[in-house]
Amino acid sequence: MDDELKKVIRGIALLNASEHDGMTRIDAVISKVIGTRPELRERIKEVIPLISDVVKEVNKLSMPVQKAELEKEFPELLVVKPKQERSGLPPLEGAEHDKVVTRFPPEPNGYPHIGHAKASIIDEEYARMYGGKLVLRFDDTNPENERLEYYAAIKVGLDWLGIKFDLIKNTSDDMELIYKKAEELLQSGNAYICTCDKEIISKNRREMLSCKCRSIDIDQNIKRWNNMFEKYKPGEAIVRFRGSMQSENTVMRDPTLLRIIDGPHPIHRDKYRVWPNYDFAVAIEDSIDGVTHAFRTKEYELRNELYYVILDKLGMRKPKMLEFSRLEFDGMPVSKRVLKSLVQEGKVSGYDDPRLPTLEALRRRGIVPEAIRRFVLSLGFTKSDTLAPFETLESFNRKMVDSTSIRLFIAVDPIKLTVKNNNLTEVKILNHPQKHMGARVIQIDGTFYISNEDASHLKVGDEVRLLELYNIKVTKLGSIIEAEVIGANFKSEIPKIQW
């Protein structure tokens, strides 16, 4: 491992120690090192031992020694960087102040997660950047999946994030208008009713073949359309857009616009049974809602052609569509299907299980909304895949809560330590480096617990310092470690151990 890398690690470790009472942690340094040198992610197993050694070396130093080395060897790390603009988003093409309208259109079929947070924050930031408006529109046109519980959960999550909307509505409230637009397409010959089996439809789309339904005249299509509301059963008839079965873009091979779904809708109950799919509903709704700039994740990019041609055929106003990458955390599922399965199978305690990336889970984990916003904006507006380490969000969160949070300590996988000649009954420990946050008194009797990692490095005869207490010498190892007090004066050359 090269000396340059070791120097980078040492600088990061010293800076982190200076910010945390002279103690740095391996995980904190790893996160910073990867952020500085992303190419090391693939070699992380090689790098961790080096980081571990440097962290131990730095933690042995007194705070004055740490500070002196930091100032002498790494002065560039102490330079206060000028604050950047709050939003890391690029300007919008063709945007006019006071005229920008964005929308966030979640489907109420699950609990909101970090992906929803990213989308809604981008929508709001752009609306506010241009003094415009933001619409919350529930894309609720699949009654088989939607539940009132999810409408409420999404509203609660967005409210917690601090997202403010100028208009809240449901796509399902515009069903009569959507039917009218479907009839316009049928009357103009730009759509038709298909009664083929779904297997035939799928096969024809793969083989670029038209079915017999495509040649039926307009009057017959209108008759079939009317029958969809009463006569046909689910799966027996669909409305298809007349695209091109020879298109290289598979989306344009006569896609489905509306289908029959029998089953109560959470709001409208049994009032409707012919429901638009996403592609048809989103185009119409964006246009009538006055949306000027619509954002969605890049997996929908091939659907842009259909979005615009639907609006062209209907003679409706066209918003500007832009795409960004999905946001996922490394090792955390975001898919609603996967999350639902984990909950139903009892592998997690619920949607607020801290191991999940749902907003409820992040809130329970102690993540604050402003940290999520800053994290999202730090990623910018890009189509590049975003598989972010959770540590990055935690880093933003620490910066937000550090000044108001008392410092508590934990001994991971604890090992018992007894100090035979302990002469103290209590110790006063500051809650925070800022003294105005007070202190707490801890009763002590010579029995302590230290982390298994710290214990594993001890040998009989070693001298170490128990933080905020005294120096001890190890006299016996085993399931219980024994030691004796050898003095209270601070020694910079011996390791410091958290208890």
Q: Which residues are catalytic?
A: 107, 326, 336
- The beta-strand segments (E) located in 94-172 are 101-104, 133-138, 167-170
CB 243 within 8 A of CB 253: yes
In this structure, the number of other CB atoms found within 10 A of the CB of residue 496 comes to 21
Q: Determine the Cα–Cα distance for residues 498 and 408; give it in Å rounded to an integer.
A: 11
Counting other chains too, the contacts that 421-425 makes at CB distance below 8 Å and 24 or more residues apart are: 421/484, 421/485, 422/446, 422/485, 423/485, 424/469, 424/470
Q: Determine the Cα–Cα distance for residues 276 and 265; give it in Å rounded to an integer.
A: 13
Strands 471-476 and 439-443: unpaired
DSSP structure class, residue 250:
G
CB 201 within 8 A of CB 239: no
CB 36 within 8 A of CB 16: no
Q: How far is CA 215 from CA 40, 185, 194, 249, 388, in A?
A: 60, 15, 10, 22, 50
Q: How far is CA 210 from CA 150, 195, 201, 213, in A?
A: 39, 13, 9, 8
* Residue 237 burial (10 A CB sphere; 0-12, 13-18, 19+): buried
In this structure, the number of other CB atoms found within 10 A of the CB of residue 152 comes to 11
Q: What does the DSSP assignment read for 185-229? A: HHHTTSEEEE-S-HHHHHHHHHHT---GGGG--HHHHHHHHHHTT
Backbone angles phi, psi at 43, to 5 degrees: -115, 20
3-class DSSP assignment, residue 36 = helix
DSSP structure class, residue 11:
H
Nearest to 274 by CA among 259, 286, 252: 259
Cα 214 to the chain's mean position, in Å?
44
Apex 207 CA angle, 202 and 210, nearest 5 = 75
Q: Determine the Cα–Cα distance for residues 372 and 325; give it in Å rounded to an integer.
A: 16
